[in-house]
A and B are shown apart, each in its own frame.
Chain A
Amino acid sequence: MAVRLITEKCTGCKLCLRACPYGGIEIVEGKARFNDQCTQCGACVSSCKFGALVLEVTFTRDVDVDQYRGVWVVAEHLHGQMRRGTYELLGEGRRLADKLGVELAAVLFGDGVEGVAPDLIAHGADKVYLAQDPALAHYRTGPYTDVLSGMINQYRPEVVLVSATPQGRDLAPRVAARVSAGLTADCTGLDIDEDDRLLVQTRPAFGGNLMATIVCREARPQMATVRPGVMKALDPDPSREGEVVEVPVKLDERAILTKIVEIVQQESDGQVNLQDAEIIVSGGRGLGKPENFAIIRELAEALGGAVGASRAAVDAGWIPAYHQVGQTGRTVQPKLYIACGISGAVQHLAGMQSSDVIVAINKDPAAPIFNIATYGIVGDLFEIVPKLTEKLKGL
């Protein structure tokens, strides 16, 4: 990818100077000119009202793949609080980087987040590329795309991993289109083909009914969004050493097309934290009505677990969507998963079948959930679940 200036069309209006996060454009004799700071990030292109700046897309076969080395993980945090998926990416990224014999770097954007960098190193990163600016404090597509694309052009990693969270799935396709990278969505398995230095990406499609293996031979970097809850984080080692590389950027709020009006964190309690839970008790259509989630909550409470739900229960409006387990909800891997009144549609199974022990309680003996349950009980959940809660409390 390259940014090209059509000098005849340039009016010297300076709008592109505002848009450039790297200070890579100057106006010389009434015309824009790129200087050494330019990273070819492309931020200026859409700022030009006169069509003087164009993004030229490189034909993937013309990319020199050998110029790209290293594995990157894009860190995701909320006000400096790291999302757990980032640690999982670092754990997986460490394994891939070791196979490739290269460095693992984390990319950290924000404002006043330098204190988080050592934590990323403790979780496996050799290096942290840190870009800070008030405009990067909260995620927005435009500035994050501009800065990340510029860094990719400058440092040329061969692999870039992003969490398949709403933020990651907003950012990664935009960056991939900007830098003409190959991008695979929502991967659940990654590996390296050592002969060709290829990232071998496995992902579910068709709601979990099919698995596909995808590679990107010619374009670089090889980008993947990775499903949270699947990869393993390393135990943090505070004695690990690494380097923090500050990437100087300066953003101009006037050039950013998206304004954040409001951010509301939904109420949450221990019972929602599905990703961290060792035990999850889930309810589905068999509960019949929203009030009946009380018996699920009581069992979860007795076990110190979280409350999950099937898509049917969420779609019926019985419980908020952030409790949803499955292909379109969360993927979970607790030690114990208790499915109550859940038939076990493939899309639900896709999100929980890696749990260590699965207990299914359902009145329909033909429910597919029984095909994967470690322990199955064919019966009335309204009788069994409260009794179970009672007995667990008594033990």
Chain B
Amino acid sequence: MNIVVCIKQVPETTEVRVDPETNALIREGIKGIVNPFDENAIEAALQLREAHGGKVTVVSMGPPQAEEALRHALAMGADEAILLTDAGFRGSDTLATSYALAAAVKKIGDVDLVLCGKQAIDGDTGQVGPGMAERLGFPQVTFTIELEIADGKLRARRVLDDLFEVIEVKLPAVVTVVKQINEPRLPGMRNVLKAKRAEITKWTAADLEADPTQVGFDGSPTQVLKVWPPQKRSSGQLLEGEPDEVAERLAGIIKELNIAPR
């Protein structure tokens, strides 16, 4: 099986701050990690390779330092890593990113399965997987919690709020996974060192033969006007005293609210 996993490097913490002057994200001192859901996608790919044989290629689009994320994937066991990096990709929204990643999958060629996390923890959009599936003309399976492959078909269990759905699609397909699908392996020290020295292929927009009107700012229909920290709700009153007394007061307060249960 020829599997591609698309991953994103995200800030280690979501507790980021905004520069009040410039409205820009303060990135100093924040380490980049592999988006946690993407680690599950890598793990799923490695397990499929173990079961069916084949190759796992990881692809990421981002600045040169996104190489670190790809090295982590290599240390976990991926066979090859490709970084899409080009000034022309800057400013790409989810549609432009989908286009570029799909172009990379096409360039890799003969891909049976594309895996990604259900969403990235920084943008929280979950739009790139389906967008990529559309650009590739592949069926998509999102929010996957279990998957198995037999006879060129993929059977997946999806978790959708109050529903579970089992669906079957023909390969090739794009699959996005939720955290509960597996427990990503920790790379051993030897693999980490090996991955440090590994060659990472770099592709530019020209390498992808990308239409310049479909990547970067030009290929992105959406624009972020501003970014700001959410307004905090102010704190109220502390109820103090013995548990019995506090419970009594609270029960009184709740009773006063006079909320009729539905």
Contact = CB atoms under 8 A, between A and B. Distances in A.
A205 B164 CA distance: 27
A279 to B, nearest CB: 6
Interface string B160-171: 111111111110
A32 B128 CA distance: 32
B236 interface: yes
B246 interface: yes
A170 B140 contact: yes
A207 B95 contact: no
Name the residue among A183, A206, A260, A372 with the largest chain B CB count within 10 angstroms.
A206
Interface in B228-262: 228-230, 232-240, 243-244, 246-248, 250-251, 253-255, 257, 259-262
A266 B29 CA distance: 43
A177 B98 contact: yes
A205 B122 contact: yes
Interface string A20-39: 00000000000000000000
A372 B14 contact: no
A174 interface: yes
Nearest to A334: B259
B57 interface: no
Contact of B18 (A210, A217, A358): A210
A305 B257 CA distance: 14
Contact of A182 (B137, B161, B222): B222
A121 B122 CA distance: 38
Interface in B121-180: 121-131, 133-135, 137-143, 155, 158-170, 180
B221 A180 contact: yes
A262 B142 contact: no
Interface string A260-288: 11111110100010001111000000000
A234 interface: no
B227 interface: yes
Interface in B1-27: 11, 14-16, 18, 25
Given A141-B139, A208-B230, A353-B233, A180 B259 contact: no
A219 interface: yes
B259 A207 contact: no
B161 A374 contact: no
B104 to A, nearest CB: 16
Interface string A202-224: 00111111111111111100000
A305 B262 CA distance: 8
Given A177-B130, A371-B234, 9 more contacts: A59-B218, A141-B140, A200-B225, A206-B16, A206-B124, A214-B223, A216-B222, A264-B164, A278-B261
Interface of A: 45-46, 57, 59-61, 78, 140-142, 145, 165-167, 169-170, 172-174, 176-178, 180-186, 200, 204-219, 257-266, 268, 272, 276-279, 303-305, 321-322, 327, 335-336, 346-347, 350, 353, 357-359, 370-380, 383-384, 387-388, 390-392, 395
Interface of B: 11, 14-16, 18, 25, 93-95, 98, 121-131, 133-135, 137-143, 155, 158-170, 180, 211, 213-214, 218-219, 221-230, 232-240, 243-244, 246-248, 250-251, 253-255, 257, 259-262
**9 smallest beta-carbon distances between A and B, as pairs:** A304-B261, A182-B221, A219-B221, A46-B137, A207-B14, A387-B247, A177-B134, A185-B125, A391-B251
